[in-house]
Chain A
Amino acid sequence: MKAVAFAAVTSLVLLFVWERVDIVRIGYHIERLKAQKVLLERERDELRVKLSGLTAPERIARLASDKLGMMQPEKGQVVVINIEPEAPANPVVAEGEVRIAKNIVTRRAR
Chain B
Amino acid sequence: MASTPFRSRRIVVACGLVVAFMLVIARLVNLQVMQSAALTVKADRQHQKNVMLEGARGTIYDRNSKVLAMNMDVPSVFGVPASLGNPGVTARNLSPILHVKATELEKKLKQEKHFVWLARKLEPEQGRRLERLALDGVGVVMEGRRFYPKGPLLSHVLGFAGMDDRGLEGVELRYEQYLRGEKRAVVLQRDALGRAVFPKGLNEEGAAGGHSLTLTVDEVIQYIAEKELDEAVSRSNAKSGTIIVMDPKTGAVLAMAVSPRFDPNTVGALAPDRWRNRALTDTYEPGSTMKTVIAAAALEEKVMTPGSMIYGENGQFSIANTVIHDHEKTGWMTFSQMIQKSSNIGAAKVGMALGEWRVFDYLKDFGFGDKTGIDLPGETVGLLRGPRQWGKRSLASISMGQEVGVTPLQMVTAVSAIANGGVLMKPFVVSEIRNAKGQLVAQTMPQAKRRVISADTARTLTTLLEGVVTSGTGGKAGIPGFRVAGKTGTAQKVDPRTGAYSSTLLVGSFLGYVPAEDPRLAMIVVIDEPRGEGWGGVVAAPVFRRVGEQVLNYLGVAVDEPVKLAMAGLES
Q: Which residues on the B side are within 8 Å of A78 (C-beta)? A: 553
Q: Is the CB of A80 within 8 A of B559?
A: yes
Give complex CA distance A76, B139 in Å: 61
The answer to the question of B385 belonging to the interface, with a C-beta cut-off of 8 Å to chain A, is no
Q: A49-B147, A52-B70 are in contact. Are A57 and B223 (CB under 8 A)?
A: yes
Interface size class on chain B is: 35 or more
Q: State which residues 44-65 of A face B: CB under 8 Å.
A: 45-46, 48-53, 55-58, 61
Q: Is the CB of A57 within 8 A of B219?
A: yes
CB nearest neighbor in B for A29: B198
Q: A46-B72, A78-B553, A103-B568 are in contact. Are A61 and B223 (CB under 8 A)?
A: yes
Q: A46-B72, A53-B149, A78-B553 are in contact. Are A24 and B197 (CB under 8 A)?
A: yes
Q: Which residues on the A side are within 8 Å of B150 (C-beta)? A: 52-53, 56-58
Q: A48-B67, A58-B153 are in contact. Are A76 and B564 (CB under 8 A)?
A: yes
User: How far in angstroms is the closest Cβ of chain A from B152?
Assistant: 8
Q: Which residues on the B side are within 8 Å of A80 (C-beta)? A: 552-553, 556-559
Q: Which residues on the A side are within 8 Å of B1 (C-beta)? A: none
Q: Is the CB of B558 within 8 A of A49?
A: no
Give complex CA distance A49, B559 in Å: 38
Give complex CA distance A56, B265 in Å: 15
Give complex CA distance A98, B109 in Å: 67
Q: Which residues on the A side are within 8 Å of B68 (C-beta)? A: 52
Q: Is the CB of B197 within 8 A of A58?
A: no
- The 8 A CB mask of A77-101 against B (1 = contact, 0 = none) is 1111110000000000010010100
A-B contact count (CB 8 A): 107
Give complex CA distance A58, B219 in Å: 10
CB nearest neighbor in B for A98: B558
Q: A58-B227, A61-B227 are in contact. Are A31 and B570 (CB under 8 A)?
A: no
Give complex CA distance A6, B147 in Å: 66
Q: Which residues on the B side are within 8 Å of A53 (C-beta)? A: 149-151
Give complex CA distance A99, B564 in Å: 16
Q: State which residues 2-59 of A face B: CB under 8 Å.
A: 23-24, 26-28, 30-31, 42, 45-46, 48-53, 55-58
Q: Is the CB of B557 within 8 A of A23?
A: no
User: How far in angstroms is the closest Cβ of chain B from A14?
Assistant: 21
Q: State which residues 470-488 of B face A: CB under 8 Å.
A: 480-481
Q: Which residues on the A side are within 8 Å of B195 (C-beta)? A: 28, 31
Q: Which residues on the B side are within 8 Å of A28 (C-beta)? A: 195, 198
The answer to the question of A75 belonging to the interface, with a C-beta cut-off of 8 Å to chain B, is yes
The answer to the question of A73 belonging to the interface, with a C-beta cut-off of 8 Å to chain B, is yes
Q: A45-B72, A80-B558 are in contact. Are A30 and B564 (CB under 8 A)?
A: no
Q: State which residues 352-376 of B face A: CB under 8 Å.
A: none
CB nearest neighbor in A for B189: A27
Q: Is the CB of B151 within 8 A of A52?
A: no
Q: Is the CB of A58 within 8 A of B72?
A: no
Q: Is the CB of B67 within 8 A of A75?
A: no
User: How far in angstroms is the closest Cβ of chain B from A71?
Assistant: 13
User: How far in angstroms is the closest Cβ of chain B from A84?
Assistant: 12
Give complex CA distance A76, B548 in Å: 12
- The 8 A CB mask of B118-141 against A (1 = contact, 0 = none) is 000000100000000000000000
Which residue in B66, B223, B227, B549 is a CB contact (below 8 Å) of A52?
B66
The answer to the question of B563 belonging to the interface, with a C-beta cut-off of 8 Å to chain A, is yes
Q: Is the CB of B198 within 8 A of A24?
A: yes
User: How far in angstroms is the closest Cβ of chain B from A82?
Assistant: 4
Give complex CA distance A57, B153 in Å: 9
Q: Which residues on the B side are within 8 Å of A23 (C-beta)? A: 198-199
CB nearest neighbor in B for A53: B149
Q: Is the CB of B558 within 8 A of A82?
A: yes
Q: State which residues 548-572 of B face A: CB under 8 Å.
A: 549-550, 552-553, 556-559, 563-570
Which residue in B66, B147, B550, B559 is a CB contact (below 8 Å) of A79?
B559
Give complex CA distance A103, B71 in Å: 45
Q: State which residues 518-563 of B face A: CB under 8 Å.
A: 545, 549-550, 552-553, 556-559, 563
Q: A57-B153, A81-B559 are in contact. Are A103 and B570 (CB under 8 A)?
A: yes
Q: Which residues on the B side are within 8 Å of A81 (C-beta)? A: 558-559
Q: Which residues on the A side are within 8 Å of B220 (C-beta)? A: 57
Q: Which residues on the A side are within 8 Å of B66 (C-beta)? A: 52, 55
CB nearest neighbor in B for A27: B198
Give complex CA distance A80, B552 in Å: 9
Q: Which residues on the B side are within 8 Å of A30 (C-beta)? A: 198, 202
The answer to the question of B517 belonging to the interface, with a C-beta cut-off of 8 Å to chain A, is no
Which residue in B73, B197, B549 is a CB contact (below 8 Å) of A75?
B549
User: How far in angstroms is the closest Cβ of chain A from B359?
Assistant: 39
Q: Is the CB of B570 within 8 A of A42?
A: no
CB nearest neighbor in A for B201: A31
Give complex CA distance A109, B219 in Å: 30
Q: Is the CB of A74 within 8 A of B567?
A: yes
Give complex CA distance A49, B540 in Å: 35
The answer to the question of A1 belonging to the interface, with a C-beta cut-off of 8 Å to chain B, is no
Q: Is the CB of A26 within 8 A of B198?
A: yes
Give complex CA distance A58, B68 in Å: 13
User: How far in angstroms is the closest Cβ of chain A from B476?
Assistant: 11
User: How far in angstroms is the closest Cβ of chain A from B64?
Assistant: 11
Q: Which residues on the B side are within 8 Å of A76 (C-beta)? A: 480-481, 563-564, 566-567
Which residue in A31, A48, A49, A55 is a CB contact (below 8 Å) of B196?
A31
Q: A76-B480, A78-B553, A80-B552 are in contact. Are A103 and B196 (CB under 8 A)?
A: no
A-B contact pairs, 24 of them (CB 8 A): A23-B198, A24-B198, A28-B195, A42-B142, A45-B71, A45-B72, A49-B67, A49-B70, A52-B67, A52-B149, A53-B151, A56-B151, A57-B220, A58-B150, A58-B151, A58-B153, A61-B227, A74-B567, A79-B559, A80-B553, A80-B556, A102-B570, A103-B568, A103-B570
Using A31-B201, A45-B72, A76-B566 as known contacts, list a sample of 5 further A-B pairs with CB atoms less than 8 Å apart, ordered by residue number in A.
Answer: A45-B70, A46-B124, A57-B153, A57-B223, A81-B558
